[in-house]
Amino acid sequence: MEEAVVTDITRAAALPPAPGADRYRSLDFADTAATLPAGQAYDLLAAPDSARSWLLAHNLTSEEVRLYELCAGRMRTLRGHVRALFAARVDGAAPPEAALRAVNDALTAVPSAPLLAWDGAQGLRRVESHPTDQAVNHALAILAADAADLLTGADADLLAACGSAPCDRFLLRTHGRRHWCSTRCGDRARAARAYARRTGASE
What domains can you pick out in the chain, each with its CATH number? 5-199 (1.10.3300.10)
Spatial contact of 60 and 25, defined as CB atoms under 8 Å apart? yes
- CA distances to 20, 76, 149, 151 from 156, rounded to whole Å, are 11, 23, 9, 5
The reported pLDDT for the residue numbered 73 is 96
H/E stretch holding 33 = strand 33-35
H/E stretch holding 141 = helix 135-152
Instruction: pLDDT band for 179, please (50, 70, 90 cuts).
Output: confident
- 14-62 tens-digit pLDDT: 789 999 999 999 999 999 999 987 778 999 999 999 999 999 999 999 8
This prediction has a pTM of: 0.82
